[in-house]
Amino acid sequence: MSTSETLERPRMPACDYVPPPYVGPSRNEILDLRKRFVHPSVFMLYKHPIMLVDGHMQWLVDENGDRYLDMLAGIVTVSCGHCHPKITAAINEQVTRLQHATTIYLNPNLALLAEKLSSKLPKGLDVTYFVTSGSEATELAVNMARAYSGHTDIIAQRNAYHGMSSTSAGLTSHHTWKRDIPLGTRIHHAICPDPYRSLFDGTPEEIAHKSAEDIRDLIRFSTSGQVAGFICEPIQGVGGVTMGAPNYLKEAYAVVREHGGICIADEVQTGFGRTGDHYWGFERYDVVPDMVVMAKGIGNGVPMAAVTTTREIAEAFTNRLHFNTYAGNPVSMAAGLAVLDVIDDEGLQDNARVVGRRLKASLEGLMHQHNLIGDVRGAGLMLGVELVRDRETKEPAPAETATILEAARELGVLFGKGGLYGNVLRIKPPMCITEDDVDFAVGVLDMALKVAAT
């Protein structure tokens, strides 16, 4: 008998959503089609891949009607909840009137959403260009920074993830995501300020200071002395929920601006209230970026992304034509408008703060019982649990992480994983999650950790 069978299973909270019966092809048929016809680099998470056919708020349902608590939110994308009724209604209404026409014509939704985004950002950050993915958005941000500054070199951070297109993959800083082909040019990676695996000694604030000063060295040694800009996730997502102490960005931005660069906040994961205390990740550091990159949570699953910047920076990009067929299409814009309303109307940022605090405290509690947990970090509903074989050497525990993911799935909870070594549990559920749900998730994680220890 396995450990999970001998322990009492945590009880899944009730949910009154009843999914319609699934009548499509079987999971095995789909798996077979996927293996034969889908590009093999489209990878899946579990040893026996899960097939999902329905979603309702923080819940996902497989073809057998089995329900799972979604602690990853479609990789930090389903901000408000799966098939949120108000967002679905807004999408449906727009799709029946006008699905697509492009930005060469006026349509109300694009201008309305651009105005609304500006109202959520510090004064001055008030013009938006919409695109369809985070990769496209980070790439556009870099191009705009270069056009505006008249310089080419870009500073990104080690352990960052900014996308998979050429320039955005160049910004990304994990060998596991990089190919041995030209990926972007004149991109330099500064030291990650997260204290857990830092090369520097000292308090988190000292490490943040030394990491910000590393940007100065990087500029001195690797560039002409002037840079186009600096791009940084306020909390690194794919990198394993890593971040510097609150003094980091202020110091880093000052160094970059001293050298002619503009500062870009990649808010693809940290934006729209997820970090709880703040609507935007950069607010934690008391800085104002020159450009904000958004994707994922802005559409609750609808493929859309955006870059918001100042009029002055945007104007420098108008000396050539720039166009994207799907940019700002009326259906995505309707979704974005509804998402922003739902986040406000349903107090989702506050929920991320309150429920996230409870969840983090419980995860820290688990750390006292399980030596495998080396670090618990993050803010709001953007949390990471780093698993190590030895707390002194910090030897990563990727195999154990995979075992825990599988065991949790058996018990009805879907976690994510990340980090360079694949040893960080990424916990970033839809922001509508409740206290009961996170208590259940922690109970499941406790049991999964016991399974991994046997």
The contact set with ligand PMP (CB under 6 A) reads 133-135, 138, 161-163, 233, 237-238, 266, 268-269, 295
Pair 132, 304: CB distance under 8 Å: yes
Tokens for 96?
């029946």
Query: Pairing relation of β-strands 187-190 and 154-157?
Result: parallel
CB of 274 to ligand PMP, least distance (A): 12
Position closest to ligand PMP via CB: 134
Q: Nearer to ligand PMP by C-beta: 169 or 342?
A: 169
Closer to ligand PMP by CB, 233 or 251: give it: 233
Minimal distance, residue 447 CB to ligand PMP, in Å: 29
286: left (phi over 0), alpha (psi -120 to 50) or beta: left
Q: What is the dihedral of CA 157, 158, 163, 164, to 10 degrees?
A: 140
> Nearer to ligand PMP by C-beta: 73 or 314?
73
CB of 130 to ligand PMP, least distance (A): 13
Q: How far is the CB of 236 from ligand PMP (least distance, A)?
A: 7
- Could you give the CA distance from residue 248 to residue 349 in angstroms, rounded to a whole number? 24
Q: Which is nearer to ligand PMP, 133 or 423 (CB)?
A: 133
Shortest distance, CB of residue 134 to ligand PMP, whole angstroms?
2
Which one, 133 or 362, has the nearer CB to ligand PMP?
133
Closer CB to ligand PMP, 265 or 363, in the complex: 265
Residue 264, beta-bridge partner list:
231, 291
Structure tokens at 31: 């798996």
Q: Could you give the angle at the alpha carbon of 415 between the alpha carbons of 177 and 339, nearest 5°?
A: 85
b/e per residue 222-258 (b: at least 16 CB within 10 A): ebeeebbbbbbbbbbbbbbbbbbbebbbebbbebbee
Confirm if 109 and 274 have CB atoms less than 8 A apart: no
Min dist. Cβ of residue 290 to ligand PMP (A): 17
Token reading at 76? 């930090």
If the CB atoms of residues 94 and 138 are measured against ligand PMP, the closer one turns out to be 138
Residue 214 CB, shortest distance to ligand PMP, in Å, is 21
